[in-house]
């Protein structure tokens, strides 16, 4: 018999505190519950997107940080309904640094997979700063990400064709990353108070710093694809069709998706329709 709920506990990357959440199988749309306030996932708004995504309910009663990895697991497994996400904390746990632990928890609930309610309707290209997004209609999900970072990463590319097993095997384990010389600036901005080298990729000019498991081939690009997937999921995605992203970032992605929705490049359908 499958469990009706799974609890997850761990360190919060930005708060630096132990936090927890409970994933509950529940009929209806995906909803988030925090200290008595409840909001449908589709109604949440992005209020911060630097080094992670913070969402809030329209009435301001709910605010949750670092949601993108859980959202990526939802999108990667095709979970668009039947879930209640419960937390009393202001941030979700980092767990493995990617989306694998979230995906395993969702699979334990045996939630139904469905086609995404978002689709690409026509060819379009959007640019935000150094980020470029190209949309093309198609019968199935297709994400492609290309990135270029300073040493020791260089140029990397990752793709995903919407298969849940492939998501769990290749995309979900890719860890969040950064450079050691960015740490002080991040701390000054109120971020990265809980860096755990066992669960993140921290680089210097030569590779992963001591205490940090070395990067796997293409892991940085795969994590950027994971982040893109999580951002798209908040808007009802990933969409049926192709999304090709050059140097995507959270802020750029959410701005582009909103514009694509406004222009009809992306269109929503009823879940399950």
Residues whose CB falls within 8 Å of the CB of residue 94, separated by 6 or more in sequence, listed in order: 10, 11, 12, 13, 66, 69, 176, 194, 196, 199, 200
CB atoms within 10 A of CB 120: 23
Residues whose CB falls within 8 Å of the CB of residue 144, separated by 6 or more in sequence, listed in order: 157, 158, 159, 242, 243, 244, 245
Indicate which residue of 69, 223, 235, 250 is catalytic. 250
3-state class (DSSP) for residue 30: coil
In what helix (H) or strand (E) does residue 177 lie, and over which residues does it extend? strand 177-179
What backbone phi and psi angles, to 5 degrees, belong to 220? -65, -45
**Distance of alpha carbon 191 from alpha carbon 206, whole angstroms:** 24
Catalytic residue check, 14: no
What backbone phi and psi angles, to 5 degrees, belong to 226? -55, -45
> Residue 204 to residues 176, 256, 262: CA-CA distances in angstroms?
15, 31, 41
| Inter-residue contact 85 to 21 (CB < 8 Å) | yes
Burial of 89 (C-beta count, 10 Å sphere; 0-12/13-18/19+): middle
| Burial state string for 197-210 with b = 16 or more CB within 10 A and e = fewer than 16 | eebbbbbeeeebee
Active site residues: 250
């Amino acid at each position: 018999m499958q469990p009706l709920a799974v609890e997850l506990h761990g360190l919060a990357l930005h708060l630096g505190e132990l936090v927890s959440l409970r994933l509950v199988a529940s009929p209806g749309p995906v909803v988030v519950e925090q200290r008595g306030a409840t909001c449908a996932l589709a109604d949440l708004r992005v209020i911060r997107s630097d080094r992670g995504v913070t969402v809030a309910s329209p009435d301001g009663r709910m605010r949750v940080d670092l949601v993108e990895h859980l959202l990526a697991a939802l999108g990667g497994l095709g979970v668009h309904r039947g879930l209640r996400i419960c937390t009393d904390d202001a941030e979700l746990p980092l767990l493995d640094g990617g989306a694998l632990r979230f995906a395993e928890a969702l699979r334990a609930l045996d939630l139904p997979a469905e086609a995404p309610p978002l689709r690409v309707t026509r060819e379009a290209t959007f640019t935000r700063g150094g980020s470029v997004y190209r949309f093309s209609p198609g019968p199935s999900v297709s994400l492609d990400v290309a990135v270029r970072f300073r040493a020791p990463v260089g140029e990397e590319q990752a793709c995903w064709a919407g298969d849940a097993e492939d998501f769990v095997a290749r995309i979900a384990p890719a860890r969040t990353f950064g450079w050691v010389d960015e740490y002080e600036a991040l701390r000054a901005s109120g971020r990265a108070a809980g860096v755990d080298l066992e669960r993140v990729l921290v680089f210097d000019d030569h590779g992963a710093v001591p205490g940090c498991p070395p990067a796997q081939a293409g892991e940085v690009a795969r994590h950027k694809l994971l982040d893109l997937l999580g951002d798209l999921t908040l808007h009802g995605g990933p969409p049926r069709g192709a999304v090709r992203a050059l140097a995507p970032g959270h802020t750029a992605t959410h701005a582009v998706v909103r514009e694509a929705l406004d222009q009809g490049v992306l269109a929503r359908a009823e879940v399950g329709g």
